[in-house]
Amino acid sequence: MVYATSFLAGAALMGLEMAGSRVLAPVFGSSIFVWGSLIGVVLAALSVGYYAGGYLADRRPEPGPLSLLLALSGAWISLIPLLARQALPVLTSAFPGMAGPLVSSFALFFIPSLFLAMVSPWCMRLLISSVEKAGRSAGLLYAVSNAGSIAGTFATSFYLIPRIGTESILRWTSAMLFALALFLAWMGRSKGTCTAALALALAVVVSGGSLFGAARETGVIYEVQSLYHHIYVLDRGDVRILRFDNAPQSGMYKERPYDSSYPYPDYFHLALCMKDDIQDVLMIGLGAGMAPKRFRRDYPDMKIDVVEIDPEVVRVARDYFGFPGDYEVKVYVEDGRMYLKETEKQYDLIIVDAYYADAIPFHLTTVEFYELAKQRLKPGGILASNMIGALAGPQSKLFCSMYLTLSRVFPATYLFALDNRPGTEGQYRNIEVFALLPAPAGGGATGDAGIEWPRLTRQDFQARANALSQGRVTMPALVRMAGDLYEKQVSKEGAVLLTDDHAPVDSLLHLY
């Protein structure tokens, strides 16, 4: 029973750590700072818990107090959903930036991790009956405890989170610890401890039964936890919104399902102002599928491929946002960079729309990534990227770093800043960047009609957009969007060249 207790406590601790990332993600995202905070807090709890557990076990070498520790950790874990809903908004306001996930991790997970860390040294004290066998007993016990940690990590990451969700994981972990506490107290004939553990379990169940079922957010019509996000679909009036964790991703008007309620996907149509003979299109990142869905309807002659890493996002886009099936738009469920590495196909237009407001896949921002994308463009091809940041000022370091990196590979670029009004360069916004791969001199196999020098001006873009609006392009605001061309020089002061070896996008993002 002592070995089983050590195994299950190890599994519960690591399961709690893995589930903890999903508790914090709706507020803080899933950046390196969230994981660093969680791991650091758990390690701190282990250090204190190992010492405290060994000290107390020497004073009370019996199962009763150990079972109470398990019951207390189970009680705390059962309350984490409620604590998270009540405390995280307050902590976010009180501790902005990188301090938020650290303080929140400590507030939610230090105490239960501390109690669970005390289990192994207590079990060790119960096992040791002679000095001659102490080493063997210690080695076996810690091997069993680590085996439990491995099982908890794999089971939670690969099976439980995608299938039953975070709150169910916490609920069942709590129930397991309560059951283990009661059984251990009963085996140790600790009637007082058994009664206390049972009373604690009943109090949590009776007073907190509703805590496990979170109050459903107004307007949520569907939610699911995938391997990558907590996905929400919300109806807000005549708009349907797709949200990952706490960050809106896409939206459509329910009565006009091809019209995006967020303007940034419409800007991708400006690629036709630079190259009017686009045939093969690749989009990395699906979201609700508003951009590829509109491209498929407006330009039936184009062949459109989409790469999306999360199969749940593909399913949600089809079930709730009218995204077409593979017979119209081919979807590859894999990482965007891996797809570019494996495919031999070349495209006229590659669109990168895989960046989030609270987390950025760093491997899609580096020189090496853009070099790979460049190899998959036809002569005269275009790489379009939806970036998030500020054009100038203290909040511009992330965008300036991403732009510096892209322009190192593609010297010819055009920027379109949403809501581009004078004096607003320091505001956080979507910025659409178009990078051009010039065709060979004299024209290539696909033509170079879209690559003209000298450089296109705002008036050139508006004239081309106006001509396209008379025929091929049905986007009514295309001329206005062309007027959002940003013609100032982007500052490189403080910018970081992003490489596979050094791409601190999380720290640049969380500076603000």
Q: Which residue has the higher pLDDT, 236 or 134?
A: 236
**Measuring CA to CA, which residue among 298, 254, 274, 238 is closest to residue 476?**
298
For the cut 80, the answer to whether the pLDDT of residue 51 exceeds it is yes
Q: What is the pLDDT of residue 447?
A: 37
- pLDDT, one tens digit per residue, over 198-243 is 555 555 554 454 444 444 567 888 988 887 888 899 999 999 999 9
Query: CATH classification of 2-212, choosing from 1.20.1250, 1.10.10, 1.10.3470, 2.60.40?
Result: 1.20.1250
- If you average pLDDT over residues 15-19, what whole number do you get? 90
Q: What is the pLDDT of residue 161?
A: 80
The residue length of the chain stands at 512
Q: Which residue has the higher pLDDT, 159 or 305?
A: 305
Q: What is the pLDDT of residue 229?
A: 80
Q: Which residue has the higher pLDDT, 32 or 288?
A: 288
- pLDDT, one tens digit per residue, over 331-359 is 999 999 999 999 999 999 999 998 765 66
Q: How far is residue 491 from each of residues 392, 424, 463, 484, measured CA to CA in Å?
A: 7, 15, 28, 18
For the cut 60, the answer to whether the pLDDT of residue 194 exceeds it is no
Burial of 344 (0-12, 13-18, 19+ CB in 10 A): exposed
- The domain locations on the chain are 2-212, 262-509
b/e sequence 156-176, b meaning 16+ C-beta within 10 Å? bbeebbeeebbbebbbbbbbb
Q: Which range has the worst mean pLDDT, 21-30, 106-115, 169-178, 376-385?
A: 21-30
Phi, psi (rounded to 5 degrees) for 146: -65, -35
- If you average pLDDT over residues 435-462, what whole number do you get? 64
b/e sequence 489-504, b meaning 16+ C-beta within 10 Å? ebbeeebbebeeeebe
- If you average pLDDT over residues 436-450, what whole number do you get? 53
Angle at which helices 166-187 and 2-28 pack, to 10 degrees?
160
For the cut 90, the answer to whether the pLDDT of residue 305 exceeds it is yes
Whole-angstrom Cα distance, residue 250 to residue 241? 6
- If you average pLDDT over residues 430-443, what whole number do you get? 78
Q: What is the pLDDT of residue 452?
A: 44
pLDDT confidence band for 195 (50 / 70 / 90): low
For the cut 50, the answer to whether the pLDDT of residue 27 exceeds it is yes
Whole-angstrom Cα distance, residue 111 to residue 74? 11
Q: Which CATH class is domain 262-509?
A: alpha beta
Q: Which helix (H) or strand (E) holds 175?
A: helix 166-187
